[in-house]
Structure 1
Amino acid sequence: MSRYLLLYSVLFLSTAFAQAQTLQGKVISGEEGVEFANVWIKELNTGAVTDSLGNFSIKVSETGKYTVQASRVGFQTSQIQITLPLAAPLIFQLTELDGGLDEVVVSGTMQEVSKLDSPVPVEVYSGNFFKANPTPSIFESLQNVNGVRPQVNCNICNTGDIHINGLEGPYTMVLIDGMPIVSGLATVYGLTGIPQALIDRIEVVKGPASTLYGSEAVGGLINVITKNPLNAPLFSVDGFATGWGEVNLDLGIRSSLGSKVHSLTGISGFYYDNPIDNNGDGMTDLTLSKRISIFQKIQVDRPNNRVFNVAARYVYEDRWGGQMNWTTANRGGDQVYGESIYTSRWETFGIWQLPSSENLNFQFSANGHSQNSVYGNTIYIADQYIAFGQLTWNKTLGKNNFLLGTAYRFTHYDDNTPATSSDLGDQNKPSVIHLPGIFVQDELKITPTQSLLLGGRLDFNSVHGSVFSPRINYKKSWNDNTTILRLSAGNGFRVANVFTEDHAAFTGAREVVFTEELRPETSWNTNVNLVKKIYTNGGTFIGIDGSAFYTYFTNRIVPDYETNPNQIIYGNLDGSAISQGVSMNLDFAWANGLTLTGGATLMDVSLEEDGIRTRQLLTERFSGVWSIGYEFFKSGLKIDYTGNVYSPMRLPLLGELDDRDAYSPWFSIQNIQLTKSFGEKWEIYGGVKNLLNFTPPANSIARAFDPFDRGVAFAADGTVIPTPENPNALTFDPTYVFAPNQGRRGFLGLRFRVQ
C-alpha cells in the first residue's frame, strides 16, 4: 500500500510541476535593468511587465518549447527560443534603438541625473511617444502632453504659442539640447522643422525655472534633446501625406569623419498648397505652407571623455492664408485680403568642456529670426538676433553637489513699427538689451533617500536693472523609489520683449498699443509632486504622478482686447494674477501588450485689478489627454487611439454688441492610427485625425466678408459706430480662435530605418 502511495505522490508532484511553474528572468541594457519592458510567451499568449530592476516572473502551466519576446519602447525587440523547465533565470539583453526613454534628465538641475533622483519634477517623453499621433511639427505633437496646449492665435495665419498650465507663450522657454533658443512668437518656429527621427526625448518642466534659465522661463520650459550621433540610426526616413494634401518628409543620416568626429544630419520638409474653405466664410481653413529645415550636429571624441558638440539649424517657411482667390500678386494690396509670412531663421548651439581638472563647461547659442509679413495692406518687417553664453563649474564635496555659473544674453530687435522708433518719431531706434547674470545651486544629499536643492540667480537687465530669483526643492523617496515626494518653491521673472509682445506678428487686424514702458513681471510658485509606481503579481504596471501648483504674479503684462476693438493694449496689471490647480498623470501597462496613458489638469488662471477678479482669456479650466495602444505581438500590428478634451474658454469679443458666444464649447480632438511592422526596418502607418470632425463656429472670423473694414463706421476716438449694415458694431477680426479649423482627414505614412 505504501509503495502505491509513494508512486502516486511522485506522479502527482510531477504533474503539478508540469502544470504550474514559474519562468523568471531579467531584462537588461548594458548592466542596467530595463523597467517597464514587456516579456511575452507567444505560444501561450501570456506575459509580464518588468519591475524597476528589470526582473520578471511568468506562471507557465506546461513544459515545452516556447518563443519568449522582450520589448520596450526605444529598444530593439529580442526573442529567445527556450525549453521549459529552465535550469537558470532567462536573461534578455536589449539594444537601444534610438536612445529610448532612459530616464536621464537635465532640465531640472542643468546636470544629467536620473529622473527618479531629480529633486525637480521633470516630465519626459521619448521620441517614440509622439509616433502614436504623427504631426508635421513638435508644436502640434505637444497637444498630447498633459497641461500643455498649442494655442492657435489667428484663424488665418495659424501662428501660435505654447501654453503651460494656462500661461501664455511668452512664459514658455524652449531649449534645444539645453540651450535657450526661442520664446513667445518664435515658439512656433522653434518647434517646427526639427526632424522627429532625430529627437531622443522632450523634457517638460512646469513652473518657474528662472533660477537656472533666466527670463522667459516663468510658466515652464520645453527642452528638446536631440540624439547622440553614436546612438542614432545610420539612415532613417519618415514620410506621410493627409487627405487634405499635406505632405511631410523627415530624413536622418548618421556619419563619421574619421574615428573621432561623429555627425548627425537631418532634413525636414513640409508642403501644403491646397486651399480649402469648408466653413464657407470665404477664408482658407488652413494656412498654406512650404517649409524646409536643415539640421546638423557634430560630436567630437576628446581625451578623458570630455564633451564637445556643436549643432546648427536653418528654417525657411513661406505661409499664407486669406481669401480663396488671393495670389502673391495681391501681397500687401487692399483688393484681396491675405496674410503672407516669409520666415528665415537660423540657430547654432553647443557645449565645450574645458581641458581642466575641474568640471568646467562652456555652453553657447545664437539665433537670428527675420520675418517679412503682410496682413492685408499692413506690412510688418522684423529682425531679431540673440546671442547667449554660459560658463558653469560643477563640484561635489562630501554630500554637496555645487553648480556655479555665469551667463550673458544679448538681444537686438528692430522692426518697422513705432515700437522701435525714436522719441522724435522720425528715426529708427532698435531695441538692444544686455542681460548678464550669475547663479549658484547646491544639492545636499541629506540621506540616501532625501535631498535638498537650494539655488539663487542674480541678473542685471540693461533697461530694468537687477532681478533676483531664488528657489528651494526637497525630495524624499520610499521603497526603492517606487514612492517619491517632491516639494518646490521658487521665483520667476520675465522681461518684456517687443518681438514676443507685438501681436502684429499674429494678425494685422488690430493695432498694438503700449500704454507704458513695460516693467519686468515677477512670479512666486509652489508645487507639490507625488509619484507612485505599482507592480502587481499579474504583471501589470501602474504609474501615478500627481501635482498641485500655485503661482502668484505681480506686474503681470496683460493684453487688453476689449477696450478698443481695433487695438491690443499692453500694460502692466495694476493688481495681481494667479495660476493655480492640480494635475494627474496615469500610466498603465498590461503584459498582453495594452498600454494606457492619461492625464488631466484642473486649474484657475485669473487676474485681479481694482478689486475685480476676471478669468484670463483663452484659458480652459479643465483639460485631459489620453493615449491608448495595443500591440498584436504575433502579427506585428499596433493600434493607437489618442485624444484631448478641453472645457470652455473665455473668448475675446469686439464689444457689448458682439453676438458671438463669450465662451467656447467643450471640444475634443481625437485620432486613431494603425501601424504595421515588417521586420526591423520598415513600418507602414495610417489612420484618421480629428475623428469627431470638430471645428470652431463658422463666424469665428468677424466680418470675414469685409476684411478691409470698408463697410464699418468709426467715431473720432476709433470706436465702431453701430449702423443698420453693421448693427453689432463689428470689425474684421480673426483673433476669436480657440481650436484649429482643420476637420477630419485621413493620413498614410511610411518609415524606414537602417540601424
Structure 2
Amino acid sequence: MKELYNIVVFILMPVIAQAQIGSISGQITGETGPVAYASVGIAGINAGATTTEEGTFNINNIPAGSYMLNISAIGFSSKGQKIKVKAGETTTVYVVLRQSASRLNEVVVTGTMRETYQLESPVPVEIYTPKYFQRNPTPAIFEALEMVNGVQPQVSCNVCGTGDIHINGMEGAYTMVLIDGMPIVSALSTVYGLSGIPNSLIERIEVVKGPASTLYGSEAMAGLINVITKASAKSPAVSADVFYTSHKELNADIGWSRRYKDASTILSTNYYRFQDWRDVNKDNFTDIPQQHRVSVFNKWSFNRQHNRLATVAARYYYEDRFGGELQWTPAYRGGDDIYGESVYTRRYELIGAYQLPLLEKVMLRYSYNDHKQNSAYGEQLYKAQQRVLVGQLIWDKPLSQRHNLLVGTSYRYTYYDDNTPATQSPDEQELKNQASHISLPGAFLEDELKFSPVFTLLTGLRYDYNSEHGSIFTPRLNLKWSPGEADILRLSLGNGYRVVNLFTEDHAALTGAREVVIKNKLKPERSYNISLNYNKYMNLNGGYINLLGTAFYTYFTNRIVGDFLTDNNKIIYDNLHGHAVSKGVALDAEVAFTFPLRLNAGVTLIDVYQVQKNRKGEEERVPQLHAPSFSGNFALSYTFRNAGLSLDYTGSVKGPMYLPVQEKDFRPEKSPWFTLQNIQLTKAFAGGLEVYGGLKNIFNFMPDYPLMRSFDPFDKQIAVNNPNNYTFDTEYNYAPLQGRRTYMGIRYILDK
C-alpha cells in the first residue's frame, strides 16, 4: 500500500507543482500604438520578457503571489504596475507608457562603470539598439557601426579586407572595444572581435567619444565602444535572423535561451559565408575577400540572494579569410607564384562578473582571450598568438543620496609571440624567440557629487604601473549642468594614454631579418582632451526633437612611430618629436512624430593632423590618413501600420580624406566626395515573424585605383617600364569594393 501511495504521489507531483504556478501575458502600448522591444521584468525574481513588434509579451512558470511589473522602453517613461499571479491561471495586463525624452531615460554603465540613467550621467554616452542597426542589416557589428555619427569602420587592406574602427578621425589602435564592460578585444584582433557577434545577442551598444583611460586604461584615447549583451532571463526562447544577398553572401544569427530554477542561459551562434570570386573592375583580384566564419556565444546568469549579480560567458570564433588573384588555390599559400592573402583566425573568449557576498557592493569582473592567427601575405608568412587576461575589483560606495564613490583595482597581463624578427634576438648560433610579457596593475578612484539637482561634478584619477614603461597617471573631470530635463550641458576634461604594442601593429611591414632597435626609452602616448556637449530636447505637439551637439579638441604627445627607411636591416622605434591634434564638431538629431515617421541624422567635421620636424629641422604639418574632413549619416523610417509594413532609407556621406600614395603617384592624394545609400522594406506577421528585403549601395559606387600594379604583385618586374618605381600597393582605400546588391531576409522571435 505504501508503494502504491508513493507511485500516485510521484505521478501527481508535476500536476501539483503546476498548480502552484501561473503566467502573465499582456500588451504594452504608447500614445501612438504598440511599443516593440520594451523590457518587461518582475521585481524580486529572475523572470522577464521583451515585447514583440505588436507590443505583446508572455512570461510563464511564475510562482503564485503578488509582484511589481517593471516596464521600460526607449523613448518612454518607465512604469511599474502591481500584479497578482494566481495558481494555474494567466494574468492579463495592458500597460500604456507615456512618451518621454527619447533616449534620456535609458540606463548606461560605460561612462562611470556603474548603472545610471543617461539623463543623470555626467559623461555623454550614446546608445544604439539592435533595432537601429536592423534598418540596414550587416553581417557584423564592424560594418554596422557605419551608422554611428563620427565612427568609421576603416578597411586598411583591399585584398584581405581587415580593418579597424576610427572615432573622430583617430586610428583604430586608439579605440577600445568592450563586451559587457570588459576589454575583450586585443590589439591583434579589433576587426575579428567585432565580427561574429550575433545581432540577437546584443541588448545595446554604448559609445563614448574622447579619452576614457581614467576608468578603462590603455587604448581608450579616442573613445570606446561597449557591446552590452542581453540578460538571459529576458531573452526570447528562440530567435533567428537569416539573410542572403545577390552577391551570394549568407549570414545567419540563431539564438536560444532557457530559464532554470537557479539559473538562466542564452546560446547564440553566428554563421557567415561568402565564397563568390567577384572581379568587377577586371584587375584579376577579388574585389572583396572570401570569408567563412562561425561564432558561438554562451552566457549564464545565476540567481543569488539579495539579487547579487553572477554571470559568466564564453565565445568561440573561427574564420577563414582569403583575397588575391583569381587563379589562386591553397597550394600557392606562402609562395611567390600566384598572389594571395590567406588568414586563419581562432579565438577563445571568457567574460564574467561576480558580486561578492558582502554588505557593501563590491564587484569582481574578469575577461580572458586567446587569439591565434596564421596568415600569408603573398610570400610573407605571419603566425602570432596573443593572450590577454584582465581582472577588476570595484567597490561602489554611496556616501549619501548625492555623493557616490567608486574605487577599483585592476590587473592586465598581455602575452604576445610571433614568427617575425620583432620577437627574436640575435644569438651567436641561432635566433632565439623572445615572447612579450607585459603586466599592467592599476588602481582608480572616481568621486561623483551632486551639488544640486541641476549641477553634478565628477572627478577621477587612475594610476597604472606598466612593466616596460613604469608609472602612468590619468586624471579627469566632468561637469554636468541641467537646469531642466530638456537641457543638459556637459563639460569634459581628461587625460588619456596608450601603451603601444609595437609588433602587433606593424607586423605586416616586417620583412627580412630586421633588427629591432629602440632608439630611446619609449614613453606611453599621452592625450589631453576637452569637449563640450549640449543636449536639447524639444517636445512638439506631434512628436519630439532631440539634438546633441559636441565640440572637441585633443592634443597628443609622445606618439610612437616605427622607422623602416633609415636602415633596411633595422626597425628603429622612437617617440615622435612633435605633437598631433584631433579637433572638430559634431551634431546629431533624432526626430519622431506621432504619425509613424522617424529620422536620425548626424554630421561630423574634423581636422586631424601631426606636427613634426622634417630633415631640415623645420616643423611641418602632416594630415591624418583616412580621416574625412566631413562625414554624415542618416536613417529615415516610416511605418504603414494597417499593412504591417515599414520602410527604411539609410545612408552615409563622406568628404575628401587623405590617402596613402607613393612618390610621384598618379592617383589623387585625396578621395572624392561619395555617398552610400540603402533602402529596405519589412513586413511583420503575427507570431513574431518578419520578412525583409532591400537594395544596398543604390548608386553602385565603387572606388577607383584599389590596387597599384596588380599585374605584378611580387614586384618581380619593378624595373621594367616603370620609370617612377611604383610598387604593388593594397592600402589605397576609402570605400567598400562592393557595388549595388539586393538582399532578402527573415526574422523570427518566439517568446517564452
Q: Which residue of 2 aligns with 1:26?
A: none
Q: 1:372 aligns with which of 374, 384, 393?
A: 374
Q: Using the alignment, how far apart are the partners of 2:512 and 2:737 within structure 1?
A: 19
Counterpart amino acid of residue 453 in structure 1: L
Q: Which residue of 1 aligns with 2:225?
A: 222
Residues 306-336 of structure 1: CA distance to partner in whole angstroms, max 9, x if unpaired?
0000001010000100001111111111111
Q: Which residue of 2 aligns with 1:674?
A: 681
Q: 1:503 to 1:652 in 2, by over 3 A?
A: farther
Residues 1:637 and 2:645 are matched in the alignment: yes
Q: 1:571 to 1:701 in 2, by over 3 A?
A: farther
Counterpart amino acid of residue 692 in structure 1: F
Q: Which residue of 2 aligns with 1:350?
A: 352
Q: 1:729 to 1:513 in 2, by over 3 A?
A: farther
Q: 1:315 to 1:281 in 2, by over 3 A?
A: same
Indicate if the aligned counterparts of 2:653 and 2:674 stay in contact, CA closer than 8 A.
yes
Indicate if the aligned counterparts of 2:265 and 2:298 stay in contact, CA closer than 8 A.
yes
Indicate if the aligned counterparts of 1:119 and 1:473 stay in contact, CA closer than 8 A.
yes
Q: 1:742 aligns with which of 696, 714, 738?
A: 738
Q: Which residue of 1 aligns with 2:32?
A: 40
Q: 1:702 aligns with which of 702, 708, 713?
A: 708
Q: 2:690 aligns with which of 678, 683, 691?
A: 683
Indicate if the aligned counterparts of 1:528 and 1:548 stay in contact, CA closer than 8 A.
yes
Q: 2:276 aligns with which of 274, 277, 292?
A: 274
Q: 1:39 to 1:565 in 2, by over 3 A?
A: farther
Deviation at 1:653, TM superposition (A): 1.2
Counterpart amino acid of residue 189 in structure 2: A
Q: Using the alignment, how far apart are the partners of 1:734 and 1:325 within structure 2?
A: 18
Counterpart amino acid of residue 747 in structure 1: Y
Q: 1:75 to 1:585 in 2, by over 3 A?
A: closer
Comparing 405-414 with 729-738, greater Cα deviation is found at 729-738
Q: Using the alignment, how far apart are the partners of 2:431 and 2:280 within structure 1?
A: 46
Q: Using the alignment, how far apart are the partners of 2:515 and 2:384 within structure 1?
A: 15
Long gaps (5+) in structure 1: 1-29, 48-68, 77-89, 714-722
Indicate if the aligned counterparts of 1:239 and 1:248 stay in contact, CA closer than 8 A.
yes
Counterpart amino acid of residue 730 in structure 1: Y
**May I ask how many residue pairs the two structures share in their alignment?**
664
Question: Secondary structure of the equivalent of 1:40?
Answer: coil
Deviation at 1:406, TM superposition (A): 0.4
Q: Which residue of 1 aligns with 2:329?
A: 327
Q: Which residue of 2 aligns with 1:658?
A: 665
Indicate if the aligned counterparts of 1:185 and 1:499 stay in contact, CA closer than 8 A.
no
Indicate if the aligned counterparts of 1:139 and 1:192 stay in contact, CA closer than 8 A.
yes
Residues 1:619 and 2:627 are matched in the alignment: yes
Residues 1:250 and 2:259 are matched in the alignment: no
Counterpart amino acid of residue 715 in structure 2: D
Indicate if the aligned counterparts of 1:75 and 1:94 stay in contact, CA closer than 8 A.
no
Counterpart amino acid of residue 418 in structure 1: P
Q: 2:167 aligns with which of 164, 167, 181?
A: 164
Q: Which residue of 2 aligns with 1:598?
A: 601
Q: Using the alignment, how far apart are the partners of 2:129 and 2:136 within structure 1?
A: 13
Q: Using the alignment, how far apart are the partners of 2:142 and 2:569 within structure 1?
A: 29
Deviation at 1:650, TM superposition (A): 0.9
Q: Using the alignment, how far apart are the partners of 2:425 and 2:567 within structure 1?
A: 25
Residues 637-688 of structure 1: CA distance to partner in whole angstroms, max 9, x if unpaired?
0010111111111111121x22111111111111111000012411001101
Q: Which residue of 2 aligns with 1:210?
A: 213
Counterpart amino acid of residue 722 in structure 2: N
Residues 195-240 of structure 1: CA distance to partner in whole angstroms, max 9, x if unpaired?
1011000000000000000000111000000001111111000000
Q: Which residue of 2 aligns with 1:426?
A: 431
Question: Secondary structure of the equivalent of 1:634?
Answer: helix
Q: Using the alignment, how far apart are the partners of 1:560 and 1:620 within structure 2?
A: 26
Q: Which residue of 2 aligns with 1:649?
A: 657
Q: Using the alignment, how far apart are the partners of 2:466 and 2:157 within structure 1?
A: 32
Q: Which residue of 2 aligns with 1:437?
A: 442
Comparing 157-166 with 565-574, greater Cα deviation is found at 565-574
Q: 1:496 aligns with which of 496, 500, 512?
A: 500
The root-mean-square deviation of aligned C-alpha atoms, in Å, is 2.8
Deviation at 1:102, TM superposition (A): 6.3
Q: Using the alignment, how far apart are the partners of 2:160 and 2:460 within structure 1?
A: 41
Q: 1:562 to 1:508 in 2, by over 3 A?
A: closer
Q: 2:139 aligns with which of 136, 140, 143?
A: 136
Q: Using the alignment, how far apart are the partners of 1:512 and 1:312 within structure 2?
A: 39
Q: Which residue of 1 aligns with 2:588?
A: 585
Counterpart amino acid of residue 743 in structure 2: F
Question: Secondary structure of the equivalent of 2:215?
Answer: helix
Question: Secondary structure of the equivalent of 1:180?
Answer: coil
Q: Which residue of 2 aligns with 1:711?
A: 717
Deviation at 1:596, TM superposition (A): 0.5
Q: Which residue of 2 aligns with 1:5?
A: none
Question: Secondary structure of the equivalent of 2:232?
Answer: coil
Q: Using the alignment, how far apart are the partners of 2:636 and 2:258 within structure 1?
A: 36
Indicate if the aligned counterparts of 2:30 and 2:97 stay in contact, CA closer than 8 A.
no
Q: How does 1:91-130 map to 2 (within 5 A)?
A: 92-93=95-96, 103-130=106-133
Q: Using the alignment, how far apart are the partners of 1:254 and 1:101 within structure 2?
A: 29
Counterpart amino acid of residue 676 in structure 1: K
Indicate if the aligned counterparts of 1:169 and 1:184 stay in contact, CA closer than 8 A.
no
Q: Using the alignment, how far apart are the partners of 2:242 and 2:570 within structure 1?
A: 42
Q: Using the alignment, how far apart are the partners of 1:649 and 1:566 within structure 2?
A: 33
Indicate if the aligned counterparts of 1:106 and 1:112 stay in contact, CA closer than 8 A.
yes
Question: Secondary structure of the equivalent of 2:149?
Answer: coil
Counterpart amino acid of residue 129 in structure 1: Y
Q: 1:235 to 1:545 in 2, by over 3 A?
A: same
TM-score (norm 1): 0.84
Q: Using the alignment, how far apart are the partners of 1:514 and 1:651 within structure 2?
A: 28
Indicate if the aligned counterparts of 1:367 and 1:385 stay in contact, CA closer than 8 A.
yes
Counterpart amino acid of residue 640 in structure 1: D
Q: Using the alignment, how far apart are the partners of 1:518 and 1:535 within structure 2?
A: 53
Q: Using the alignment, how far apart are the partners of 1:315 and 1:563 within structure 2?
A: 40
